[in-house]
A and B are shown apart, each in its own frame.
Chain A
Amino acid sequence: MLFNSFAFWLFFIVVAALYYRLRHRGQNVLLLLASYYFYGCWDWRFLSLIAVSTLIDYSVALGIASSRSSRRKRMLLTLSLCSNLGILAFFKYYGFFATELDTLLRTVGMPAFLPTLQIILPVGISFYTFQTMSYTIDVYRGACSATRSLLDFAVYVSFFPQLVAGPIERAAHFLPQVIQPRIWKPEYFREGLFLVVLGLFKKIVVADNMAVLVNTIFATPLHELTGPEVLVGVYAFAFQIYGDFSGYSSIARGVSKWLGFDLMVNFRMPYFAIDPSDFWRRWHISLSQWLRDYLYIPLGGNRQGNLLTYRNLMLTMLLGGLWHGANWTFIAWGAFHGVLLCGYRLWATRRSDAGSTEHHSLLRRLACMTLMFHLVCMSWLLFRAETISQACSLLWLIGTNFTWTPLTSMMLGMLVFCAGPLLLFEAWLEFRGDLESLLRIDWRWRSLAYGYALLMCLCFPPPVAGTFIYFQF
């Protein structure tokens, strides 16, 4: 059930109509049933995984909270981590590592005979696994208290708007909203409407239209491609993945607002980042904060000297890449971003040592944004390619073949037509420094903006409605 489908909106109308007739506990029961139904529409068999994950972390957190022995607390935490990561590893990484190990052993003449299983990847497994793990770790750290209500905890894990593609919510932020009775605020309707309209525009007009171009370019045999086609294809993918993922997050936040919940902001105009560090403050914020709090800082962060800081950065980004999936291209994508962060840190430290002050003129900011955008695009090439060798070949083509074709003109035109208005809108938000600027202007302008966005969704849908990319993670 996709957010951009009739089925979802029918489902949501039914849920919302019932929801506002119920008291708090009834609302939570309804949310749990609706969330399980929503997930079951993808594949009901994997509901058991969510249930198991929920039961384990619920029990472990209660055990940790009631235990006075730090050894026992550690043991319980280890149990939770092993079971969550075990499930994740089995479903997401077993096939990849089994194949790679088999290849490695065969090259040295030792056939491994590892069983190869055709494992279906449960939708959104990385998202809800990270969410449940953060709860147990926070309870262990004393950052949040364990809930005694299994119902509330189950809603926290499976809340349908963000179940399959985030944002990855923290218990300290989201669980109290589940536990406390929801207080309806009039601005929730306004904010929800804005987020839903923006999300639909990003998904239908930007992401899905770009997907047609990107899929064709990346599936075309190399000898039929030209450099400009690949370059525009990579730009298109940059907007496809942004529109797709931030569109999903936006709709998830909007729908949650309409149910009285406030989910965290997951994207802040990432293509206006001026450096690698800035980019990660703006892109998939819930994941980057998760990795920071539960991986980078426990590894030592930047408190143990330069070399270890670089090691920690690289490890964090490599695992961030691996989180996206079991493929060398994702690992290379993580490594690329790790190198960017390390390089930038080195450069910034030297500048700082030299006493240089950070003052950015508009022109310089624009140059930095352009450079950063192209570096990010290079990482998207790694991310989208089927193999590292395909990524290298495409990069080579960009640098060596300059033949302009009608397809390039058309793709560039589509890119400007679909993503240009979004980019202009985000430039305005960036200028105002307020993500909800549109809610603070005269209602007539807002009507025009919504009218434009929805008419574009109506009149410029893609040839085939696409699923959301991040569901696979």
Chain B
Amino acid sequence: MSTILLEKPPETPHKPASTPKAAIARTPGRSSEWLVVLTVLGMFVLLELGFRFAGQKLSKDIAHLRSFPEIAAELAEMPASNGTRVLFLGNSLTRYGVDPNTFRDVLQQKYGQVVQGIKLNPDNTALADWFYAYRTYFSRRGIKPDVLIIGFEGGHLRDAASHHPDRLAQYYCTLQDCPELARYDLQGFEASSGFALSYLSSAFGNRDRIQRRVLDQMIPDYRAGMDELNRRMNSQAGVGITTEPDYSRLLELIAQAERDGVQVILAAMPVPTPYEFDAGLLEVVHSTSARLVDCRQVPGISLAMFFDGLHMDEQAQQLYSQALAERCGPVLREVADQKRQSEAKLTSR
């Protein structure tokens, strides 16, 4: 609109779109552009190699995700005769909240039961991820714990697509999971393409790690600001949502566990914001063999013990692990009795 007003050329004249004479002389040939493309591809290959060989150094969570096969193998190596084998499945709430040693000691002292526990607790996950983790690393490999304790809060068990389809591709899923992925997690071509790329590329599948690490270092108040941003976004998104949650994936997981002879315990964990069990979840518990253990309120755990506003500190961890053991004790005894009976039957045959 320059000519509207003054009808004069700009102050700093831009060179015309055509190439200036001096530039023509220095204009690189076609081959140099292919060198550019090759160099950029080289950078991507380097990034990929870096991730494949040293990704676990970037984040503890990647190291944990990559150790899933070893955790499963450790569980498989636990002798059945040494007591009930317990797999704790959850996210960072379980990582910070559950101490398997305390859990074991309390059961031993109070109920005379011998248990062996192991934890699988990738960060920022929910049932969508736990479902595949259990199937891929335990059920399909024939590695079956006696008890599966799923630690949750609020809506962790509801049907929802995974927050991290890229991680599903990298760490949790195989091609056998395609039907479930298409049904629950990958809606449309874009999601499927992203999943395929994450399946092939470690750098693509873990790119959010770089993002978080860099932004944490470079941007002041990044975590606090993002928490506030998320809070506001969630409060806006939450307005008007009234539909009843579904639990079909939880039902599938429980059915799989039942087929595997694994007792599922749904452990409701304490968090600073109180939450209720909805009718759908109670119906799942009512209609299946899964047990609901309510540890939302644990005597002694106060708000101050959630060190970052969500996760339990060491003192709260001890109190929760004791409470969990006490409340799971009767179920674990039943499982141990059943195990003994079936072993006795097998011996008598």
Residues of A within 8 A of B (CB): 5-7, 10, 186-187, 189-190, 193, 212-213, 216, 219-220, 224, 262, 265, 268, 274, 276-278, 280-281, 288, 291-292, 296, 301-302, 312-313, 316, 341, 344-345, 348, 358, 360, 405-411, 413-414, 417, 430, 433-436, 439-440, 443-444, 446-447, 450-451, 454-455, 458-461, 465
Contact = CB atoms under 8 A, between A and B. Distances in A.
B93 interface: no
Q: Which of B5, B19, B39, B225 has the most CB of A within 10 A?
A: B5
Given A5-B190, A409-B225, A187 B27 contact: yes
Interface in B33-74: 33, 35-37, 39-40, 43-44, 47
A411 to B, nearest CB: 7
A455 to B, nearest CB: 7
A274 B224 contact: no
Contact of B12 (A186, A193, A430): A430
A365 to B, nearest CB: 8
Contact of B30 (A189, A268, A444): A189
Contact of B221 (A262, A345, A410, A430): A410
B15 A280 contact: no
A186 B24 CA distance: 13
B27 A459 contact: no
Contact of B204 (A216, A313, A450, A458): A458
Contacts of A296: 1, 4
A186 B190 contact: no
A405 B228 contact: yes
B37 A410 contact: no
A213 B190 CA distance: 23
B233 interface: yes
Nearest to A295: B4
A123 B189 CA distance: 21
A444 B14 contact: no
Which residue, A186, A296, A348, A440, has most C-beta atoms of chain B within 10 A?
Answer: A440
B224 A410 contact: yes
Contacts of B79: none
A458 B207 contact: yes
B6 A345 contact: yes
B32 interface: yes
A407 B224 CA distance: 7
B219 interface: yes
Nearest to A281: B2
Given A7-B190, A189-B33, A277-B6, A413 B220 contact: yes
Given A278-B10, A358-B11, A450-B36, A341 B221 contact: no
Interface stretch (B114-122, B210-218, B316-324): B210-218
B26 interface: yes
A268 B12 CA distance: 12
Contact of A281 (B10, B32, B221, B222): B10
A7 B189 contact: yes
B8 to A, nearest CB: 9
**Closest 4 pairs between A and B when the two form their complex, measured CB to CB:** A410-B225, A413-B219, A280-B1, A447-B39
Contacts of A443: 28, 32-33, 35-36, 39
B89 interface: no
A468 to B, nearest CB: 15
A278 B210 contact: no
A435 B36 contact: no
A465 B214 CA distance: 20
A16 B100 CA distance: 59
Given A447-B39, A461-B207, 16 more contacts: A5-B190, A7-B189, A187-B27, A190-B33, A212-B233, A288-B1, A341-B1, A344-B5, A410-B222, A417-B215, A434-B15, A443-B33, A451-B39, A451-B43, A454-B43, A460-B211
B178 interface: no
Contact of B4 (A189, A265, A341): A341
B7 interface: yes
Interface centre among A190, A224, A291, A301 (most CB of B within 10 A): A190
Contact of B3 (A292, A348, A455): A292
B47 A455 contact: yes
B11 A360 contact: yes
A186 B30 contact: yes
A386 to B, nearest CB: 13
B232 interface: yes
B20 interface: yes
A445 to B, nearest CB: 10
A213 B1 contact: no
B15 A433 contact: yes
B207 A459 contact: yes
A288 B2 CA distance: 9
A11 to B, nearest CB: 10
A294 to B, nearest CB: 12
A156 B189 CA distance: 30
Given A6-B189, A433-B14, A443-B33, A277 B40 contact: no
A31 to B, nearest CB: 23
B23 interface: yes
A454 B26 CA distance: 25
Contact of B226 (A276, A313, A410, A460): A410
B13 interface: yes
Contact of A406 (B4, B29, B221): B221
Given A186-B30, A451-B40, A409 B220 contact: yes
21 contacts: A7-B190, A274-B11, A277-B4, A278-B11, A280-B5, A281-B2, A291-B1, A301-B4, A313-B4, A406-B225, A409-B221, A410-B222, A413-B215, A413-B218, A433-B14, A434-B15, A443-B28, A447-B39, A459-B207, A459-B210, A461-B207
